[in-house]
Structure 1
């Protein structure tokens, strides 16, 4: 019997220090550091199992892979896969779950604290010599605000949203979980979406990117924000209208923003965020909220477990 061929399309999306063990069944293992969209179809044509993180596996590529039985996504989000096309062929799609329950909330609060206490602004001013020029032991060029007593609006009530809420309560913050946009009555633990926008000091997003959540926050939503909140996005690019965010920050509708994700990654030189990079109230990190060493190793271990389970006939973390 021919050994199954496993093709990993983009190994470089995992840290080189990450240990990726071989599945515990006989197989041929083909690893590509990265795969351009135009290369996917040819590379998976003879695959039984495909592993991808960000390389798109669309309907055309699936149609040209007659042996394909499993697409194992090395991430939680599965919008890189045409799940409907896979399902129509009886191909299992699996994803990674709950591996980032520490790293993403910690990165979220690193961004919140950096903005709330103007950490980057003060560091940059010290580097410019401002402290040496000061007439006393400290100076007050940038705002510093406590988290205690402030209100955190959380959009997204999954594992990560709940973990962020736990940290927030430890800081003495009031936590508001938002109803889904356009709905009410999700229960007493939820606050109407528009109320969260109006009353939060900080708004953080932890939602998947779906047709219903694309541009979840855009110009009309920024106009509702009465407390000039901080906007934090460690979830997915596309949840916030990026041009509208730039206008809101430059127009004073919000007090600051920190993003770990953008719609196009990496962002092009003319991306709207590039004009904000010198501002002390804006932070952009390169999609690394998920990327602690511990989290990536957990992801890699779960990825191989998903492959083994599916090949044994008991697939887990099935999508669609």
Structure 2
């Protein structure tokens, strides 16, 4: 019986799918390096959250055949190197698109209305001060979407009923009825809200850097539910501290969990969430079941439907 390691929550979300398929399922809180080695060095398949999977770990797991990401991004795994070790890497494209897109639009609305500031003042007993804060309608504004995969497309579709102008930057121009493709410079200059949904790769590291942020309007806001590496975090911190841009909503960071001494915690123009953009019941079930199916396909000798690499078997 082949052993698989999966997060406990995923086992519950799939009603023990892999156990029913005949695998020895070992559940953990999170499949990080230490946990994997302590649980089963002879493991054949692992379902991963976002913990890094070091390249030197493969040689310690001789039976490993598949790493299945519970989600879309797989930047914490070197998929090309995994292929040289005969290990499939898979993800679950589209499974969390609706949830992340809804959170992006929610963040946009919260920044526009300054909802977090108003609520914080009210809870502090400063209702009169809260009443003095006036937000903005997003109707008539321009929203720039950086990255037009499943999530970016879902954001654009949701915004179609808000009366906004949508600008899109993406390396591949997919057909769309919900926006206009422009270059990144134009998007940064013209957008009132810039929302990031582009994959984290070597090419997109610090795609949004000091230069790009400097192009934004002083009244503009940045929303990042992609990956921390897409933004030059230090440049963003400086821009927010200097009020070079109005505000930001951030779900992802260079270091996660976000360190307690991060300057972001001291800013009243930043809305923070701890990488929970896809945390809905519905997305969780779709991601867990999709990743489970990828493990089963790989361990039963098939090519996984959502493989992101091509192992040299």
Same fold (TM over 0.5): yes
2 CA distance for matches of 1:82 and 1:105?
A: 26
Q: RMSD of the alignment, in Å?
A: 2.5
SS at match of 1:96: coil
Change (3 A) 1:271 1:110: same
SS at match of 2:207: coil
Q: Which has the higher contact order (CA 8 A, sep 6+)?
A: 2
2 CA distance for matches of 1:179 and 1:67?
A: 39
SS at match of 2:16: coil
Q: Is it true that 1:319 corresponds to 2:308 in the alignment?
A: yes
Residue correspondence of structure 1 range 1-320 to structure 2 within 5 A = 3-8=1-6, 11=7, 14=9, 18-23=13-18, 24-41=20-37, 43-131=39-127, 133=128, 139=131, 141-180=132-171, 189-226=180-217, 228-276=219-267, 279=268, 281-314=269-302, 315-320=304-309
Q: Which moved more, 1:223-232 or 1:121-130?
A: 121-130
1:19 shift after superposition: 4.1
- CA deviations over 1:48-79 (Å, ceiling 9, x no partner): 21222123322211122222222222221112
- CA deviations over 1:139-170 (Å, ceiling 9, x no partner): 4x223111111000000010100110111121
Q: Is the 8 A contact 2:167 2:181 kept in 1?
A: yes
Change (3 A) 1:16 1:44: closer
Structure 1 stretches of 5 or more lacking a match? none
Change (3 A) 1:30 1:126: closer
Change (3 A) 1:173 1:202: same
Structure 2 stretches of 5 or more lacking a match? none
SS at match of 1:195: helix
Q: Is the 8 A contact 2:222 2:247 kept in 1?
A: yes
1 CA distance for matches of 2:67 and 2:15?
A: 17
2 CA distance for matches of 1:242 and 1:282?
A: 13
SS at match of 1:287: coil
Question: What TM-score does the superposition give when structure 2 sets the normalisation length?
Answer: 0.88
Q: Is the 8 A contact 1:41 1:60 kept in 2?
A: no
Q: Is the 8 A contact 2:138 2:164 kept in 1?
A: yes
How many matched pairs? 304
1 CA distance for matches of 2:120 and 2:29?
A: 36
Q: Which moved more, 1:45-54 or 1:154-163?
A: 45-54
2 CA distance for matches of 1:110 and 1:256?
A: 14
> Which structure dedicates a bigger proportion of its chain to helix?
2
- CA deviations over 1:101-160 (Å, ceiling 9, x no partner): 2111111111111110111222223334444x58xxx94x22311111100000001010
Question: What TM-score does the superposition give when structure 1 sets the normalisation length?
Answer: 0.87
